[in-house]
Amino acid sequence: MKQNIVDKILSAHLLSGEIKQGSEIGIKIDQTLTQDATGTMAYLALEAMGKPRVKTDISLAYIDHNMLQSGFENADDHRYIASVAKKYGVYYSSPGNGICHQVHLERFAVPGKTLIGSDSHTPTAGGLGMLAFGAGGMDVAAAMGGGAYYIEVPKVILVRLSGRLSAFVSAKDIALYLLKILSVKGGVGYVIEWGGEGVLTLSVPERATITNMGAELGATSSVFPSDERSFEFLKAQGRASDYTALSADEGASYDRIIDINLSELTPMIALPHMPDNVVPVSEVAGTKVTQVCLGSCTNSSLSDMLKAAALLRGKRIHPDVSMSVSPGSKQVLTMLSDCGALSDILASGARLLECACGPCIGMGFSPPSHGVSVRTFNRNFKGRSGTADAMVYLASPETAVLAALYGEITDPKSLSDDEIFIPYDVPDEYKADDSGIIAPCSPEDAKNVEIIRGPNIKPLPVFKKLPENIELNLALAVRDNITTDHIMPAGAKVLPYRSNIEKLSEFCFTAIDPEFPARASMFDNSYILAGYNYGQGSSREHAALVPMYLGVRAVIAKSFARIHEANLINAGILPLILKDPNDYDKLLSCEKINANNIPDAIKKGRLSIITDAGEIELLCDFSDRQKDMLLAGGLLNYIGGLKNE
């Protein structure tokens, strides 16, 4: 049978189930990654699972999110992760080394292999032909211990590229254009496979910008072929031996094909407050800008930074604009400095931030009140920047730099011919220095490694089994496209508590309703009512664990985002789908609902709830594994149960 790239990688890694669309399969995971904001929970789960050493080809713990260290909390998290990593066989990427996805692409991604990471942008590695998935920390812990990773067999969209990008149009514009076509829920249930002769015109870092933003489509993953451009990149990283060619068979089938002619694309920009709110830059040209940010796992590669440096060379940014630059890795920063491009950036008046997520997750550099910020990032959800009323736009490095220079959004295509920029050449060889990656100790020495826990690192919350019959109070009703940033905000004030569920619970849903934590705690058991695509965005399992801690036992929605649905099940919370979406309005008017014979309903995949507005049918169509997990009260209880069998 003719196979596409997704079929090839899935069938080579299949551990259980059948590759039949919609059914659940378990696949072998070759590599894992964690970052610090989700890592502490993942390693607490790994400890609880009782496996002495990780069983993957390689597992890495990156420190890149919680970098402010404005108190002891984040520093304690780093120290805890470093000690667990050492003991359990995980490589530790020290703070300053770079953003997980950028460093992983440079130093560890391998075509044809599988990767899961406790961060939704893990599919970035698909730029190098890996099949990579974002997952909750507990799932990553299970994979580190040698367990399978379970996914629903995805449908596959082929995006077929032809032509070549014209000057000032870049990979980010391709990603934004696809978001315009498909929307933030258009990728749910799909892997996006990239193909067509246009693919060869894109370098690996450009491909990685595109696979990175597949997360914003809600896609399960995104993947490019592995070809001569992949070899070129791996060779330049001193990793030629990691290369294998990978492409779809001629005539392989797809569920949907989207054709994009790169030559016809124009610069695009996402308007506040959703990544799919995309228009051509020309439509908003002239909008005054107060802030510009260059960086994030989407656009912080050496080639992006060199492009920006060339545009900034010999110029000053506009006096009304404050601009930040965060290179994606120490490799990028060192090479920028060595070739002199960093001096161009600094001379322009831009502020250099460290190699980390930084402003992307609201860790500093928040815009002023009502500020307009143009960012090369991937998410512009309301309030994520740390300023509730800021207007955040997402654009390519080219568009962002021009906004900084001119003080207003400027269509790169409108530049006149005499505005010449001499590009920097991307070098043939990258400077590989892995000294910031600390190897774990040997299995023999592991016994002597002490795990260091600071006072802010609290044990995991208690996971409770669902009772037979339950009365649930409506704790909150929300509409479509609720993000995990709404549920469990990030940012400088909240991130220090990622290892402390109790403290974190004070912030749950407060962006939508400041009274939520107090109200939910009043009820013994409660539920959340939601529209379509509930839980889109980040993979943070805190968005499930914290509501669970506050007594939320079910979420009733019109549909769910993939990673969040898995996180709810892992936490023992029932994700229920309204059979008739119109029943949403009926439920709005009911304070309480009653659900009876829950274990039976889980087994059957249907639950009828009794409400003041009559009986309402809900779907809970889970795999057998998920049913068992829900009946056990979440993943840890389930795995604990398996161990005792």
Positions in the binding site for ligand MIC (CB under 6 A): 37-38, 65, 119-121, 134, 361, 379, 490, 537-540
Q: Which residues pair with 291 in a beta bridge?
A: 322, 373
Using the minimum distance from each CB to ligand MIC, give the nearer residue, 229 or 540: 540
Q: Does 191 bind ligand SF4 (CB under 6 A)?
A: no
Give the shortest CB-345-to-ligand MIC separation in angstroms: 24
Amino acid, res. 632: A
Out of 378, 410, 536, 626, the only residue in the binding site for ligand SF4 (CB under 6 A) is 378
Which of 297, 303, 292 lies closest to 410, judged by CA? 292
CB under 6 A: which stretch of 11-19, 192-200, 355-363, 465-473 binds ligand SF4? 355-363
Q: Does 60 bind ligand SF4 (CB under 6 A)?
A: no
Q: Which helix (H) or strand (E) holds 73?
A: helix 72-88
Look at residue 99 and give the partner it binds from ligand SF4, ligand MIC, none, a contact being a CB closer than 5 to 8 Å depending on partner kind. Answer: ligand SF4
**Collapsing DSSP states into helix, strand and coil, what is residue 156?**
strand
**Collapsing DSSP states into helix, strand and coil, what is residue 490?**
coil
Look at residue 143 and give the partner it binds from ligand SF4, ligand MIC, none, a contact being a CB closer than 5 to 8 Å depending on partner kind. Answer: none
Out of 188, 306, 325, 357, the only residue in the binding site for ligand SF4 (CB under 6 A) is 357
Residue with tokens 């299995």: 443
Amino acid, res. 135: A
Using the minimum distance from each CB to ligand SF4, give the nearer residue, 145 or 295: 295
Give the shortest CB-61-to-ligand MIC separation in angstroms: 13
Query: Which segments of 120-227 does DSSP mark as H helices, in order?
Result: 137-144, 171-182, 204-212
Using the minimum distance from each CB to ligand SF4, give the nearer residue, 226 or 296: 296
Residues 62-101 that bind ligand SF4 (CB under 6 A): 65, 99
Look at residue 562 and give the partner it binds from ligand SF4, ligand MIC, none, a contact being a CB closer than 5 to 8 Å depending on partner kind. Answer: none
Handedness of CA 424, 433, 231, 11 (dihedral sign): negative
Look at residue 296 and give the partner it binds from ligand SF4, ligand MIC, none, a contact being a CB closer than 5 to 8 Å depending on partner kind. Answer: ligand SF4
Give the shortest CB-56-to-ligand SF4 separation in angstroms: 20
Using the minimum distance from each CB to ligand MIC, give the nearer residue, 121 or 558: 121
Distance CA(383)–CA(488), nearest Å, equals: 12
Give the shortest CB-540-to-ligand MIC separation in angstroms: 3
Amino acid, res. 369: S
Q: Does 325 bind ligand SF4 (CB under 6 A)?
A: no
CB 636 within 8 A of CB 460: yes
First to last CA, the chain: 40
Using the minimum distance from each CB to ligand SF4, give the nearer residue, 65 or 542: 65
CB under 6 A: which stretch of 66-74, 265-273, 354-362, 414-422 binds ligand SF4? 354-362
Give the shortest CB-143-to-ligand MIC separation in angstroms: 16
Query: Which segments of 275-389 does DSSP mark as H helices, in order?
Result: 302-312, 330-338, 341-347
Using the minimum distance from each CB to ligand SF4, give the nearer residue, 99 or 178: 99
Q: Does 297 bind ligand SF4 (CB under 6 A)?
A: yes
Q: Which helix (H) or strand (E) holds 635?
A: helix 635-644
Out of 13, 78, 113, 121, the only residue in the binding site for ligand SF4 (CB under 6 A) is 121
Relative orientation angle of helices 542-549 and 36-49, to the nearest 10 degrees: 70
Which of 372, 391, 389, 388 lies closest to 380, judged by CA? 391
Give the shortest CB-273-to-ligand SF4 separation in angstroms: 16
Phi, psi of 397 (to 5 degrees): -55, -40
Q: Does 213 bind ligand SF4 (CB under 6 A)?
A: no
**Collapsing DSSP states into helix, strand and coil, what is residue 532?**
coil
* Residues comprising the chain, all counted: 645
Give the shortest CB-550-to-ligand SF4 separation in angstroms: 25
Out of 73, 119, 408, 411, the only residue in the binding site for ligand SF4 (CB under 6 A) is 119
Strands in 190-195's sheet, in edge-to-edge order, are: 221-223, 190-195, 155-162, 256-261
* Residues 6 or more apart in contact with residue 238 via CB below 8 angstroms: 429, 430, 432
Q: Does 274 bind ligand SF4 (CB under 6 A)?
A: no
The binding site for ligand SF4 (CB under 6 A) comprises: 65, 99, 119, 121, 296-297, 357, 360-361, 378
